[in-house]
Amino acid sequence: MRSSPWPDRIMPLALAIGALLTTTAFLLAFLVAPLVAGATVGSTEVIGGIAVSNKLLLSQKIFFFHVPVAIVSFAALAFTAFYSIRYLMTKEPQFDTRARIATEIALVFIIATMASGDLWTRFDWGVWWVWEPRLTTYFILMLLVIAYFILRTAIDAPERKATFAAVFGIITFVDAPICFMITRLVPSSIHPVVFSTESGMSPLVLVPFLLALFGMLLVGFSLYRVRLRQVTLTDRIEQVKQQLEETWQNRNLMEG
């Protein structure tokens, strides 16, 4: 019996810390983080010459959930690309499994991002969907990840399936930086440039955000490890089953 590797041992702890951090961040986001420089609930605030009701300002809290989840989805896709390259270099099935699971995690977080973003869109813009650059590229990213799984189910031969999926996983990753950079390339009023020295976040906003980000990364990592362990164990059970079957058949042959 192989002992479990270190990431599996710290996984429950990572999951607990991740859950704790994200929860704390949400509480902080609502209780501590200011709306916008001194605005209070129950009034309207003038931002950039436009009066904004505090109801809309409150919806800005989505920032503390939506952005960390989206970043985890990009991180998971980066792992897909990384393990896909490793697979093409080594042809070891374990890297293919890892790439596949990273993509599964990416899909979960992409759907969470889409769902939370869509609620915000409905609330703030009054429509469910707009073909805005960031939305569009992210939607395309979701379609690509779904296509990755459709591709996998359409091929039977295991090695060919793994190779084709790896190639597609690498190409898919090209869209991730495009989606990440699009707010810098095509300025949009809705998605601000968050990661820059001039994003203008006060510490009371920045701290909950970073807590949420770190917490979400831990949650994503733990989910990945849980799923990886489950899949490797399933594979091992299948192998044992096959071996047993073979031994049983051989014995039958010898006795019969």
Partner 1 sequence: MARASTPNPSAFSQFRTLLAKDLRIEFRTKEMVTSMGLYALLVLTVYGASLAQTAWGFNILQMAGGLLWVVIIFTSLLGLNRSFSQEKEFAALDGILLVPMDRSVIFLAKMSANLIFLLAIQIITVPLFAFFFLAMTTPANTAPLIVLPLLVGSVGIAGIGTLLSTITMHTRGKDVLLAVLFIPLIFPLLYACVSATSMMLVGTDDPGAIWRSLALAGGYDVIMILLSWVLYDFLLSA
CA distances from 171 to 186, 200, 237, 243 (A): 22, 35, 33, 38
Identify which of residues 167 and 231 has a Cβ nearer to partner 1 in the complex: 167
Q: Provide the token pair at 226.
A: 């849980």
Residue 35 · residue 58 · CB < 8 Å: yes
Other Cβ atoms closer than 10 A to 10: 15
**Which helix H or strand E contains 45, and what residues bound it?**
strand 44-47
Identify which of residues 65 and 173 has a Cβ nearer to partner 1 in the complex: 173
At 44 the three-state DSSP class reads: strand
Strands 50-53 and 44-47: antiparallel
Q: How far is the CB of 103 from partner 1 (least distance, A)?
A: 14
Q: How far is the CB of 126 from partner 1 (least distance, A)?
A: 24
CB within 8 A of 224, min separation 6: which ones?
76, 79, 101, 102, 105
Q: Which residues bind partner 1 (CB under 8 A)?
A: 88, 136-137, 140, 143-144, 147, 150-151, 154-156, 159-160, 163-164, 166-168, 170-172, 174-175, 178, 185
Identify which of residues 147 and 193 has a Cβ nearer to partner 1 in the complex: 147
Q: How far is the CB of 138 from partner 1 (least distance, A)?
A: 11
Q: How far is the CB of 161 from partner 1 (least distance, A)?
A: 9
Q: How far is the CB of 234 from partner 1 (least distance, A)?
A: 24
Q: How far is the CB of 155 from partner 1 (least distance, A)?
A: 5
Find where tokens 């609930």 sit.
Answer: 41
Identify which of residues 186 and 206 has a Cβ nearer to partner 1 in the complex: 186
- The DSSP line for 138-205 is HHHHHHHHHHHHHHHHT--SHHHHHHHHHHHHHHHTTHHHHHHHHHHHS--SSS---SSTTS---HHH
Identify which of residues 147 and 240 has a Cβ nearer to partner 1 in the complex: 147
Identify which of residues 136 and 232 has a Cβ nearer to partner 1 in the complex: 136
